[in-house]
Structure 1
C-alpha cells in the first residue's frame, strides 16, 4: 500500500471566470464543500489514508469528477493537485514532475 496522505492542496488553474466548487467524499464521510478562485488554493486534511477520495468539480455550467486520492496510485504526505481545463495534474515530486490525468467524467 502506497498511501500516506494526510493533507491536500488543490489549485484552480481551470477558469478565471468563476470560482470552482469542490465537493469530496470517501466511502464513510462527505467533506464540506469549498470554492477556489483562479490561481488560488484550498487546503484540507484527512484522518484515514486507507480510503480513496472522489471529488466533483463544478464551474460555469461544467461538471467533472475525479478520484483525487487513490490508495494504490498516490504517494504523498501533502498531495498537491493543479486543476486544469483538460483534467487534474498531480505534482509528483517523488517521480520528478507533473502527472496529468483526464477527468473521470
Structure 2
C-alpha cells in the first residue's frame, strides 16, 4: 500500500496548521477506496495513527505534532524536508505539447 506517500501529500497541502488524524485517515481512505476494492475505515485509521505516531517521535522527524492534541504537520526544520520537496516537485513536471505535422497527401 502507498499510504505513506498519500499521508505526506495531504500534510504538505495542509500547510503549517496541520490536520487531525481523523481527517488525514479520511483522505487516505477516500483515495484508496473503490467499488471493486473496498477498505475498512478503522483499519486505515489505525494505520495512519500508528504511522504518524512513529514518525513524529524525534525533533528531526519529517512529521511533527502541533500544539493541539491529535494534529500533525510536516516538520519545517527537518533536514529531510528539502529532499521531500524535490520528490514532490519532480512529480509535477509535464511534457510540453508536441506540434503535430500533417504529412498526409491532399486529394485535391
Place the TM-score, normalised by the shorter chain, in its bin: under 0.3
Higher relative contact order (CA 8 A, sep 6+): 1
Structure label with greater radius of gyration: 2
Q: Which has the larger share of strand?
A: 1
**TM-score under structure 1 length normalisation:** 0.25
**TM-score under structure 2 length normalisation:** 0.25
